[in-house]
Amino acid sequence: MHTFLHASDIGPLDVALAEAAAIKADRYRFEHLGHHRTALLIFFNNSLRTRLSTQKAARNLGLDVVVLDVNQGAWKLETERGVVMDGDKSEHLLEAIPVMASYCDLIGVRTFAGLTDRDADYAENILSQFIRYSGKPVFSMESATAHPLQAFADLITINEHKEKQRPKVVLTWAPHPRALPQAVPNSFAEWMRAADVDLVVTHPEGYELDPLFVGDARVEHDQMKAFEGADFVYAKNWSCPGVTRPEAYGQILSTDRSWTVGEAHMAVTNNAHFMHCLPVRRNMIVTDEVIESPRSLVIPEAANREISATVVLKRMLEAM
């Protein structure tokens, strides 16, 4: 595996899930693979879970790890070609990428969507330059349109907790005070479709996700109806994806707090597990009662980020 961005990059999901279970049972089992190799983790944006779990995963595999926070201590990077660099950016990505790549064997990149230029975001403008100019395997640690390490961890968590072969999984939009990317819901929808669960997506009008990720998954605009009989409820805010409302790309279209997941919502489910990728704003996305309930999986889900990252880095090392 040379790049990790989409569910298809990891091949058959049953094989990946079996590998995840084996690694969870013995997470140092492939420690020899990373000997004398270095992973570089580059953060253009904040992170708690990805930063820690990916470092832990790399160490499980015997890798050395270097972490760079681009906006803290590095030169400000220009990302557009053809710009006269007379502003505050001291270095271009076109030099910085091969330089950074010369010190490592594989590269993880976190770079959020700008949420102003849909075409640039959906072309994965920054990640694709790393893929093209680094000459090294590159994996997304949440890039403009996708967060595959999160979706893989979510799938592992659902697989561990499901009580029927084909559970009903509901992806629900929920309100948030700031405009957030679509990367998490995009990848969640993509991976759930690949895993063949009964996926239902619910959101207010205008929040339609890109068909590239959501395919022909069932969309139900009545949130309560969507929740009926659900085995898993996956909450997330996202901004306007610009599919049905191109002029509103990246904007907040609704702040309707009736979409905040509470006990009345969970009461119509099949005693569903609650999931969220974190960080979560309590009593905006989900009430205290629901996130603290015994059916909440937010902590095991975050813990599985170490497992998904270990599988992905292992695959990349094996392909070298």
**Cβ atoms of residues 126 and 100 within 8 Å:** no
CA distance 115 to 221: 24
Q: What binding mask, one character per residue, do residues 273-312 give for ligand AN0 by CB under 6 A, x or -?
A: ----x-x---------------------------------
Nearer to ligand CP, 33 or 146 (CB): 146
7 touches ligand CP by CB under 6 A: no
Q: What is the dihedral of CA 102, 107, 111, 117, to 10 degrees?
A: 70
**Which of ligand AN0, ligand CP, none does residue 241 bind to, with CB < 5 to 8 Å depending on kind?**
none
Helix then strand then coil, in percent of the chain rounded to 5, is: 40, 15, 45
- In Å, what is the CA distance from 317 to each residue of 66, 147, 312? 16, 20, 9
Single residue of 50, 134, 187, 296 touching ligand CP by CB under 6 A: 50
CA distance 213 to 121: 14
Q: How far is the CB of 218 from ligand CP (least distance, A)?
A: 25
CA distance 176 to 154: 21
Single residue of 42, 127, 180, 240 touching ligand AN0 by CB under 6 A: 180
Q: How far is the CB of 222 from ligand AN0 (least distance, A)?
A: 24
Which residue's Cβ has the minimum distance to ligand CP?
Answer: 50
Running DSSP on this structure, what letter comes out for residue 80? Answer: S
- In Å, what is the CA distance from 56 to each residue of 50, 60, 168? 10, 6, 32
Single residue of 184, 214, 311, 317 touching ligand AN0 by CB under 6 A: 184
Query: Binders of ligand CP among 137-166, rule CB under 6 A?
Result: 142, 150
Per CB under 6 A, which region of 70-78, 177-185, 206-214, 260-268 contacts ligand AN0? 177-185
Residue 302 backbone zone (phi > 0: left; psi -120 to 50: alpha; other: beta): alpha
Query: Binders of ligand AN0 among 118-147, rule CB under 6 A?
Result: 142
Nearer to ligand AN0, 107 or 174 (CB): 174
Joined tokens for residue 240: 């306007």
**Cβ atoms of residues 174 and 286 within 8 Å:** yes
Q: What binding mask, one character per residue, do residues 273-302 give for ligand CP by CB under 6 A, x or -?
A: ----xxx-----------------------
Query: Which residues lie near ligand AN0 (CB under 6 A)?
Result: 142, 180-181, 183-184, 277, 279
Query: Which residues lie near ligand CP (CB under 6 A)?
Result: 47-50, 142, 150, 277-279
